Amino acid sequence: MSLASLANDPELQKFVAEKELENQLTAQVHHLTNVCFDKCLESNGNLSELSSRHTTCLQNCVDRFLDCTTLITNRTIQRIQQGR
């Protein structure tokens, strides 16, 4: 199969589009996690001592990151199993 015929393959184009969407979603999750971390720490001048409020805030950021990552992973697995 030539490179030109691969580029015109609808299945390959669909796969690439899905991977690009997955990468965009993952990048957005990482960006939002960074924003979350920044918000948690913006009022803490001394990073060597985190208050319980800061620790809870950071834990919530981590939990949401894991939730989103799990959701994206499970959805990807589901689409693979469905043969999409």
Per-residue DSSP letters for 56-82? HHHHHHHHHHHHHHHHHHHHHHHHHHT
Sorted by where each begins, the domain ranges of the chain are 3-82
Q: Return the pLDDT at 45.
A: 66
What pTM does this model have?
0.73
For 32, the token pair is: 């939002």
Mean pLDDT over all residues of the chain?
Answer: 86
Give the CATH fold of the 3-82 domain.
Answer: Helix Hairpins (1.10.287)
Residue 28 has a pLDDT of 95
Render pLDDT for 26-82 as a digit per residue (tens, 0 to 9): 999 999 999 999 999 887 666 677 888 989 999 999 999 999 999 988 988 888 888
Residue type, 43: S
Helices (H) and strands (E) in the chain, counts: 3, 0
